[in-house]
Amino acid sequence: MTSHDAPGTALVTGASSGIGWEYATRLAARGRHLVLVARRAERLEALAEEASKAGAAGVETLVADLARPEDLARVAERVSGDDVDLLVNNAGINGYGPFAEVDADLLGRVLNVNVVALTALTRAAVPGMLARGRGAVINVASLLAFAGDLPPDRLPQRAVYAGSKGYAVTFTRTLAAELADAPVRVQVVCPGLTATEFHLGAGDTPVSGERRIHDEGGMPAADVVTASLAGLETGEVVCVPGLTEADAVARLAAAELDLRRGSGARMAPRYGRTDERAE
């Protein structure tokens, strides 16, 4: 039994549907104590009952909107507890739409949940994990983090959402490198289209009613979680559940190294002459 399988406390945000729900039930089956965080109290109650039946050592629920500073502070305090050895930052909202037209407050919520909360909760969790000599953080991002200037045909209009997920990828990879010699693992999961209810709302308000799946379909959330947990145990920092050619991540790192060679003291010739002063 590895340290990440061992019964301990796992805190899962965005637990009331989709990928978060799957993490919760899978970790419950491993005998963990769970702290479940989401905005929808009714969904959390149903999940708590399911997790208990699945074998959870105990279940706590925290009804919280991570876009609200006071709620984020409550969750950060709990994740800093000395029993928490796994944090799953799954909460996220999309705020899809043309950048110039999407409500600015909604875009602020996207950043608060997808970037600020993810960072704050990781910061609250990691010091204690380091002190205890064990722990892991899983950040759920998206393949849209790599979408860049790909056209929005068949893709959402996504500038802020994709940017927030790009942050999650870079933050996680950089932190994983910083902690490479420490007993704490960090992983970012980048699923493609997943069969959840994520596309049924923009994130300004929770999706109402029972759990369901958007019409677009996609990979089952259970498969995303299976890949993530398997990758965590093998030390995979960037987990792309549907990626068959795993060395694509290494090629990305090599391309980034090429870009970093642009940090020299001289301007590239294509921008003008660099061997004499401009007149």
User: Could you give phi then psi for residue 188, rounded to 5 degrees?
Assistant: -115, 130
pLDDT at residue 6, rounded to an integer: 55
SS (H, E, C) 165-213: HHHHHHHHHHHHHHCCCCCEEEEEECCCCEECCHHHCCCCCCCCCCCCC
Say if 177 falls within a structural domain.
Answer: yes
Q: What range does the domain containing 61 cover? A: 9-245
pTM for the model stands at 0.92
Say if 43 falls within a structural domain.
Answer: yes
Burial 10-39 (b: 16+ CB within 10 A, else e): bbbbbbbbbbbbbbbbbbbebebbbbbbbb
Say if 279 falls within a structural domain.
Answer: no
pLDDT at residue 44, rounded to an integer: 97
Say if 258 falls within a structural domain.
Answer: no
Say if 29 falls within a structural domain.
Answer: yes
Say if 276 falls within a structural domain.
Answer: no
Which regions in the chain score pLDDT beneath 70?
A: 1-6, 200, 202-203, 207-212, 273-279
pLDDT at residue 1, rounded to an integer: 33
The CATH code of the domain that includes 197 is 3.40.50.720
161 in active site: yes
Active-site pick, 23, 96, 161, 167: 161
Say if 227 falls within a structural domain.
Answer: yes
State the DSSP code for 247. T
> How many domains does the chain contain in total?
1
For 98-121, what is each residue's pLDDT tens digit? 999 999 999 999 999 999 999 999
CA–CA dist 74, 183 (Å, integer): 26
Amino acid letter, residue 122: T
pLDDT at residue 101, rounded to an integer: 97
Say if 206 falls within a structural domain.
Answer: yes
Q: Give the SS3 label for residue 139.
A: strand
